[in-house]
Amino acid sequence: MAHTRKDQRDLTAAERRRFVAAVLELKRAGRYDEFVRTHIAYYKADGDGGLRTAHMAPSFLPWHRQYLLDFERALREVDPAVTVPYWDWTRDRSPAGQPWGEDFLGGNGRRGDLQVTTGPFAYGTGNWTVTVGVTEDRFLTRDFGRPKDPIELPTRDELAWATGETVYDVEPWNSTSPGGFRNRLEGWAPGRGNTRWRNHNRVHRWVGGLMLGGASVNDPVFWLHHAFVDLLWSRWQARNPGAGYLPAVPPPVGSAQHGRVVARDEPMPPWDVTPAQLADHRHLYRYG
Ligand code: CU
Ligand code: CU
């Protein structure tokens, strides 16, 4: 039976409490930090050599689909009623509203060291010490809107710039792909400020703090953000039934992207699963 992922704004207080409790239990058991490690290990950029699967690559969407599924499975081993909620950042844009409540993800970081001091993931609770990071900070940090150089959450119109694309991805299959749904949703673009970071990337920038880099998984909002990105892909698939994952076949020998990206029927590390096998999620979960 497929389970349902809900809009975080529709969760009851009890559902929020159970989600938080399951996340904290994974953290306590050391399993949460394993997820952080995996994300850091697969945080490869165009400039790095070798295969890119998680970012700056066509498999950005299926990679995070499988990653969320693994996390959700772990949560449901703790509490079978829990699913990963999604955060529609085109709609819930207030730093004072959910998902940033005391009873859910907690609020912004404080001035100075950007430490999150409210909610269940505040360092002071003793339940959320960052042990796997790219800096020495042991506490969760956030910097909503980046006040020093302000940016806004993406709007519905900015999102439409991505979702209106009818081709999944285009050459050269990286952060410089000039069109295609994947790169416009992932959000690499030339320019400065708001134009430099689009959609998915801009949300990481807007939350700030630990959400900026490979260790972004340390902020539980990562999962709610990526569940929404996955929902957007799902809706896009339904609207573009003929537009499958690209590239369909591996880039040829001699191409700069040969051996650098995963084609439709190739396994996508660290799993033995292909993008084609992840195209349809409806037997596993649905969006409510
Ligand atoms: Cu990622
Ligand atoms: Cu991300």
Find the ligand nearest to 185 CA. 2
Report, as an integer, the average pLDDT of 245-271: 97
Report, as an integer, the average pLDDT of 62-67: 98
What's the gap in Å between 107 CA and the centre of ligand 2? 19
What's the gap in Å between 70 CA and the centre of ligand 1? 14
Find the ligand nearest to 222 CA. 2
- pLDDT for position 157: 97
pLDDT, tens digit, 9 for 90 and up, residues 143-157 = 999 999 999 999 999
Find the ligand nearest to 57 CA. 1
Report the share of the chain in percent with pLDDT over 90.
94
- pLDDT for position 257: 95
Listed as own residue / partner, the contacts of 21-25 with beta carbons closer than 8 Å and 24 or more positions apart are 21/78, 21/79, 22/75, 22/76, 22/78, 22/79, 22/82, 23/75, 23/220, 24/120, 24/127, 24/128, 25/78
Residue 134 has pLDDT above 80, yes or no: no
Is CATH 1.10.1280.10 the right assignment for the domain spanning 3-287? yes
pLDDT, tens digit, 9 for 90 and up, residues 93-109 = 999 999 999 999 999 99
Find the ligand nearest to 200 CA. 2
pLDDT, tens digit, 9 for 90 and up, residues 20-47 = 999 999 999 999 999 999 999 999 999 9
- pLDDT for position 148: 94
What's the gap in Å between 109 CA and the centre of ligand 2? 20
- pLDDT for position 137: 83
- pLDDT for position 190: 86
What's the gap in Å between 174 CA and the centre of ligand 1? 14
What's the gap in Å between 282 CA and the centre of ligand 2? 22
What's the gap in Å between 253 CA and the centre of ligand 2? 30
Find the ligand nearest to 197 CA. 2
In angstroms, the CA 151 to CA 172 distance is 28
Token reading at 140 = 């969760």
The chain-wide mean pLDDT, for the chain, equals: 96
Which among 121, 83, 123, 128 has a CA at the least distance from the CA of 103?
121
In angstroms, the CA 283 to CA 178 distance is 33
What's the gap in Å between 40 CA and the centre of ligand 1? 8
pLDDT, tens digit, 9 for 90 and up, residues 188-239 = 998 887 788 999 999 999 999 999 999 999 999 999 999 999 999 999 999 9
- pLDDT for position 136: 79
Q: Where are the domains of the chain?
A: 3-287
- pLDDT for position 195: 82
Find the ligand nearest to 215 CA. 1
Which among 257, 169, 213, 214 has a CA at the least distance from the CA of 38?
214
Q: What is the pTM of this model?
A: 0.98
Instruction: Give the torsion through C-alpha atoms of 13, 99, 218, 278, to 10 deg.
Output: 90
